[in-house]
């Protein structure tokens, strides 16, 4: 599954990359270089980050599912015990 960024997000990331390069490397980077770097990051680093996020989400959901028995449990045949 290829990672596709929304156009607005991509534009904001390009601006962020250009600013990062200017502030940390004292180098002005044009949009083309920023786009190439962003494309590399999305293709090379993005899948690892995405897969870890999926694993984290699965773990969180499994924890919630495990709680169902205690959180959503109602004692059966309890009418007579209350009296």
The answer, yes or no, to whether residue 17 has pLDDT greater than 90, is: yes
State the pLDDT at residue 2.
84
Confidence (pTM): 0.75
State the pLDDT at residue 58.
98
Q: Does residue 47 contact residue 3 with C-beta atoms inside 8 Å?
A: yes
pLDDT per residue as tens digits for the range 27-82: 999 999 999 999 999 999 999 999 999 999 999 999 999 888 888 888 888 888 87
What tokens appear for 53 in the block? 């996020």
| All structural domains of the chain with their residue ranges | 7-72
Q: What is the dihedral of CA 46, 51, 55, 58, to 10 degrees?
A: 100
**Would you place residue 83 in the very low, low, confident or very high pLDDT band (cuts 50, 70, 90)?**
low
């Amino acid at each position: 599954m290829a990672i596709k960024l929304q156009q607005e997000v991509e534009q904001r990331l390009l601006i962020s990359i250009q600013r990062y390069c200017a502030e940390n490397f004292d180098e002005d980077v044009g949009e083309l270089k920023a786009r190439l770097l962003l494309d590399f990051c999305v293709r090379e680093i993005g899948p690892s980050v995405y897969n870890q996020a999926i694993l984290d989400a699965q773990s969180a959901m499994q924890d919630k599912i495990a709680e169902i028995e205690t959180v959503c449990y109602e004692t059966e045949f309890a009418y007579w015990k209350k009296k």
